[in-house]
Structure 1
Amino acid sequence: MSVIDVFWEFMQKYHPQLVNNDWLVDSQLVKSKDIINPEMRKIIPLDMLEVNLILFYYDGNSKDIVFLFQNNKGKQNIAIGLLSDDEFLNAFKL
């Protein structure tokens, strides 16, 4: 399933109140050890030293951020979740 499909399925199922926002996306390859949030870091398999981190956010609001982890080649989705006000709300392994 594509990144966009995973994002919209997650949003419609778990956070429908946020669906109508004008979402933007950014991605980068990061080292697993550099992820600051401990709950997010726990989701990543221990043997993965790098992950592709895809962030969804909407213009004018840094409060709600959806994150999606993929393997470092961007071929396998690992997990998706939501941070709101830097608080880990929920995440699901894919």
Structure 2
Amino acid sequence: MTAIELFKKYMNRYWSELMNDNWMVSVATFKRSNIFHEKLKELIPDDLEYGRCLVFYNSEEKRNEVYLFQDERGEKNLAITFMTDDILVHAIAIETL
């Protein structure tokens, strides 16, 4: 499943009321040791030092962001999270989606 398909599936399942917002996406690299949300850190394998993260965001009044965490090459999807105004609201492993 592509990153866009995963994003759509996640949004339809958990945040369908936001699905029609104007979403944009950017790509970033993350370092596992820099993740400060313990719930999210549990979803990222211990042996993964760096990874790739697709950040879906909208430009609405409330800052909503969906993060899709992948391995360094973007070949394996690991976790997806929803944050509002920098607060982690929801995080799940991709296998449970």
Deviations 1:18-49 (A, max 9, x none): 10111000111221112233332222111110
Structure 1 vs Structure 2 CA RMSD:
1.5
Residue matched to 1:35: 35
Q: State yes or no: 1:82 paired with 2:82.
A: yes
Specify every segment of 5 or more residues in structure 1 that has no aligned partner in the other structure, as ranges.
none
CA distance in 2, matches of 1:49, 1:40: 14
CA distance in 2, matches of 1:62, 1:76: 30
Specify every segment of 5 or more residues in structure 2 that has no aligned partner in the other structure, as ranges.
none
- Which runs of structure 2 are paired with 1:12-51 in the superposition (5 Å)? 12-51=12-51
CA distance in 2, matches of 1:55, 1:78: 14
Q: Determine what percentage of the aligned residue pairs are the same residue.
A: 29
Aligned length: 94
CA distance in 1, matches of 2:71, 2:22: 27
- Give the conservation status (yes or no) of the 8 Å contact 2:30–2:53: yes
Superposition TM-score, scaled by structure 1 size: 0.89
Matched position secondary structure for 2:39: helix
